[in-house]
């Protein structure tokens, strides 16, 4: 069957499934709308959390990122998994015991302050919208490539589906669709990975194939890859170029940021008990690990396949490079999208793919008669194009499209829900109209969700140029503001509202300021970025991606210091802390 028809069928079938689940799990009360009535079994919550967590970025971009930066991309692998340890040990069980609906609600009650709550809501909304824009964009890309519809129509369809199950079903609907989406996305990710692992190393398990020997040779994949890439002037695959302190800080900022992300934390409010919250975090990470340990294997094999395709013979010999007219079908198809580009700089009709930015390689390249790198491959297409590169059947390609959409939709839905609940519950009920009836609050939640979807869709349709950059911002912000406030709220009885608020603000201002200084996201009209974004300018050699760590330390210091010179928190707050510490 033709690929397009097949993709329509597979994607259509998954959409029908999501909507069916949504109709079967409509939310009837605010408890069901916000936290699925605390009735989600830990295993199901683990799957839902995994789908919620693994976004379009994890599914589509991560393996490509690893393929092109090798060891340096370890920051994402460790950072986006290690955060779950912090979540399971320091956050999830206690906030589950607290037993309310939202993260700002905890901060508001623990610090007996509406101001603290509002600061938390602002952080939450900023972090979540940043994220959701990226998801909607992912939906648009998948639609336009595989279903050959306009990005905007793809977006509208995606918004429509999320609308149905997020607005009707609330957390309850989202949870069970996320379970289904996890199954779709993990199947779609691992099947091509297994096929490719067999092709490259004759070992069906990607995690083992990663360290295996190349089919028909006695050399290991990673050793060969290191030799291949260095012979083309690239940096060695298994070692990095980033400084140690920077790798350390980015990893830590991503971990702490993960543990401070409201849409992840709130998933643990939905299980029946504290014990279940802990187990469920374990399941969640287990399900995430299946993809996260496959991704680096996929990345290395994709890089190997790509180089082998364009450089089938010895480096430097004329016949060593692929003739452009002989290029494979997948390259032609992706050229149309502009994500693969070829430019014959030395007019020899062959493709030269090497690192022309490496000063030590220039002479060598000239000797070969190469006049610059001629092939640009967008790293985002690695996962999507992988089945085509490996020559897999059409149904696998259709499956990958459905998987990419599932990853994007599940994350988008989770984010939209925390945005809408913080507006209807924390702001409308918590601050503006405290005596609102449950029915009106539920309605407010639904309206807020609908509005959030429209804004998210708009951001995805017309993304500010900096969507990719603000992701680092989102993590840094969560690490520097929300995590310390929640952590201290549980592990200290001494930290009071003055400490928490000044700490959050200090962390927030410092982190925003540093990122703005080097990247210039919001204050361009004032002339930002003010500093050139290079290592020698950075504070302690830490890049804007990792600066959340310093923001976090600052937050902790300010919070503790200010609390110690001001009055103790009232008795009932200390009682609250003692209560949430006990299961």
Partner 1 sequence: MKKKDQKEYWRRNVRLLFICMFFWFFFSYVTGIILVDQLNQIQVGGFKLGFWFAQQGSIYFFVALIFFYSWRMNKIEKEFDFNEKES
Number of Cβ atoms within 10 Å of the Cβ of 470: 24
Q: How far apart are CA 263 and CA 36, in angstroms?
A: 14
Nearest CA to 426 among 577, 262, 268? 262
Task: Decide whether 297 or 375 has the Cβ nearer to partner 1.
Answer: 297
Output the smallest distance, CB 443 to partner 1, in A: 26
List binders of partner 1 among 214-253 (CB under 8 A).
220-223, 238-239, 244, 247-248, 251-252
Task: Out of 156, 164, 228, 289, point to the residue binding partner 1 (CB under 8 A).
Answer: 289
Task: Decide whether 119 or 254 has the Cβ nearer to partner 1.
Answer: 254
Q: Is 253 exposed, middle or buried (0-12, 13-18, 19+ CB in 10 A)?
A: buried
Output the smallest distance, CB 446 to partner 1, in A: 26
Task: Decide whether 211 or 529 has the Cβ nearer to partner 1.
Answer: 211
Output the smallest distance, CB 317 to partner 1, in A: 28
Cα-only R_g, the chain: 25
Residues with Cβ within 8 Å of residue 38, at least 6 apart in sequence? 31, 99, 269, 270, 271, 272
List binders of partner 1 among 28-47 (CB under 8 A).
38
Q: How far apart are CA 179 and CA 40, in angstroms?
A: 11
Output the smallest distance, CB 147 to partner 1, in A: 33
Site track for partner 1 across 47-76, x = CB under 8 A: -------------------x----x--x--
Angle formed by the axes of helices 571-581 and 483-491, nearest 10°: 90
Output the smallest distance, CB 468 to partner 1, in A: 22
Output the smallest distance, CB 275 to partner 1, in A: 6
Range in contact with partner 1 (rule: CB under 8 A) among 131-139, 173-181, 266-274, 397-405: 266-274
Both tokens of residue 435?
């005596």
Q: Is residue 578 at the binding interface for partner 1, with CB under 8 A as the rule? A: yes
Output the smallest distance, CB 55 to partner 1, in A: 18
List binders of partner 1 among 338-357 (CB under 8 A).
none
Beta bridge partners of 376: 341
Task: Decide whether 74 or 144 has the Cβ nearer to partner 1.
Answer: 74
Number of Cβ atoms within 10 Å of the Cβ of 421: 30
Output the smallest distance, CB 568 to partner 1, in A: 19
Output the smallest distance, CB 38 to partner 1, in A: 8
Nearest CA to 242 among 538, 579, 570, 558? 538
Confirm if 275 and 44 have CB atoms less than 8 A apart.
Answer: no
Output the smallest distance, CB 19 to partner 1, in A: 31
Q: Is residue 82 at the binding interface for partner 1, with CB under 8 A as the rule? A: yes
Task: Decide whether 262 or 296 has the Cβ nearer to partner 1.
Answer: 296
Which DSSP category does 54 fall into?
S
Q: Is 217 exposed, middle or buried (0-12, 13-18, 19+ CB in 10 A)?
A: exposed
Give the SS3 label for residue 369: coil
| CA 391 vs CA 143, 375, 385, 518, 556: distances in Å | 21, 21, 10, 43, 53
List binders of partner 1 among 269-288 (CB under 8 A).
272-275, 278-279, 281-282, 285-286
Task: Decide whether 36 or 88 has the Cβ nearer to partner 1.
Answer: 88
Task: Decide whether 84 or 101 has the Cβ nearer to partner 1.
Answer: 84
Q: Is residue 78 at the binding interface for partner 1, with CB under 8 A as the rule? A: yes
Confirm if 79 and 251 have CB atoms less than 8 A apart.
Answer: yes
Output the smallest distance, CB 24 to partner 1, in A: 24
Give the SS3 label for residue 341: strand
Confirm if 580 and 521 have CB atoms less than 8 A apart.
Answer: no
Site track for partner 1 across 92-111, x = CB under 8 A: -x-----x------------
Q: Is residue 81 at the binding interface for partner 1, with CB under 8 A as the rule? A: yes
Output the smallest distance, CB 89 to partner 1, in A: 6
| CA 176 vs CA 3, 22, 343, 523: distances in Å | 29, 8, 48, 41
Task: Decide whether 136 or 298 has the Cβ nearer to partner 1.
Answer: 298
Q: Is residue 296 at the binding interface for partner 1, with CB under 8 A as the rule? A: yes
Beta bridge partners of 340: 377
Q: Is residue 543 at the binding interface for partner 1, with CB under 8 A as the rule? A: no
Both tokens of residue 451?
């509005």
Task: Out of 85, 122, 451, 523, point to the residue binding partner 1 (CB under 8 A).
Answer: 85
Residues with Cβ within 8 Å of residue 509, at least 6 apart in sequence? none
Task: Give the binding site for partner 1 (CB under 8 A).
Answer: 38, 66, 71, 74, 77-78, 81-82, 84-85, 88-90, 93, 99, 207, 210-213, 220-223, 238-239, 244, 247-248, 251-252, 272-275, 278-279, 281-282, 285-286, 289, 292-293, 296, 578, 581-583
């Amino acid at each position: 069957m033709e690929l397009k028809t097949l993709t329509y069928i597979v994607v259509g079938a998954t959409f029908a499934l999501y909507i069916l689940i949504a109709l079967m799990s409509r939310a009837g009360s605010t408890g069901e709308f916000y936290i699925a009535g605390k009735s989600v079994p830990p295993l199901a919550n683990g799957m839902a959390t995994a789908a919620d967590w693994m976004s379009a970025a994890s599914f589509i971009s991560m393996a490509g990122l690893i393929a092109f930066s090798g060891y340096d991309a370890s920051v994402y692998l460790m950072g986006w998994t290690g955060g779950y340890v912090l979540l399971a040990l320091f956050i999830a069980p206690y906030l589950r015991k607290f037993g309310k609906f939202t993260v700002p609600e905890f901060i508001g009650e623990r610090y007996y302050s509406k101001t603290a709550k509002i600061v938390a809501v602002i952080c939450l909304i900023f972090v979540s919208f940043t994220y959701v824009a990226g998801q909607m964009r992912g939906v648009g890309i998948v639609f336009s490539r595989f279903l050959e519809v306009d990005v905007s129509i793809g977006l509208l369809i995606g918004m429509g589906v999320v609308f149905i199950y997020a607005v009707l079903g609330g957390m309850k609907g989202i949870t069970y669709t996320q379970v289904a989406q996890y199954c779709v996305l993990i199947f779609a990710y691992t099947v091509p990975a297994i096929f490719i692992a067999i092709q490259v190393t004759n070992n069906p398990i990607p995690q083992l194939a990663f360290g295996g020997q190349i089919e028909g040779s006695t050399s290991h994949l990673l050793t060969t890859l290191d030799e291949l890439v260095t012979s083309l002037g690239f940096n060695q695959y298994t070692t990095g170029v980033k400084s140690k302190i920077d790798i350390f800080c980015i990893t830590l900022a991503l971990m702490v940021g993960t543990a401070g992300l409201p849409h992840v934390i709130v998933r643990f409010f939905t299980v029946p008990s504290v014990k279940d919250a802990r187990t469920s975090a374990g399941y969640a990470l287990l399900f995430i690990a299946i993809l996260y340990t496959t991704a680096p294997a996929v990345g290395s094999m994709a890089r190997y396949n790509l180089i082998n395709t364009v450089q089938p013979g010895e480096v430097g010999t004329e016949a060593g490079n692929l003739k452009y007219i002989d290029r494979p079908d997948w390259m032609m198809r992706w050229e149309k999208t502009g994500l693969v580009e070829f430019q014959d700089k030395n007019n020899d009709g062959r493709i030269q793919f090497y690192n022309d930015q490496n000063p030590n390689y220039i002479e060598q390249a000239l000797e070969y008669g190469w006049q610059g790198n001629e092939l640009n491959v967008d790293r985002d297409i690695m996962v999507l194009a992988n089945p085509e590169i490996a020559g897999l059947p059409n149904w696998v390609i259709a499956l990958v499209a459905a998987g990419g959409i599932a990853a994007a939709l599940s994350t988008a839905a989770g984010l939209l829900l925390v945005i809408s609940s913080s507006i209807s519950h924390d702001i409308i009920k918590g601050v503006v109209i405290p005596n609102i009836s449950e029915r009106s609050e539920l309605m407010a939640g639904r309206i807020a969700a609908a509005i959030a979807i429209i804004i998210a869709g708009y951001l995805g349709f017309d993304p500010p140029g900096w969507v990719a950059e603000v992701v680092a911002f989102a993590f840094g912000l969560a690490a520097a503001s929300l995590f310390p406030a929640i952590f201290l709220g549980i592990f200290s009885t001494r930290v009071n509202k003055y400490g928490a608020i000044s700490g959050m603000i200090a962390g927030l201002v410092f982190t925003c300021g540093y990122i703005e200084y080097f990247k210039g996201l919001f204050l361009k009209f004032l002339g930002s970025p003010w500093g050139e974004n290079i290592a020698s300018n950075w504070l302690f050699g830490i890049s804007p991606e990792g600066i959340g760590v310093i923001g976090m330390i600052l937050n902790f210091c300010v919070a503790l210091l200010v609390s110690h010179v001001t009055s103790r928190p009232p008795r009932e707050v200390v009682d609250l802390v003692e209560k949430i510490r006990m299961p």
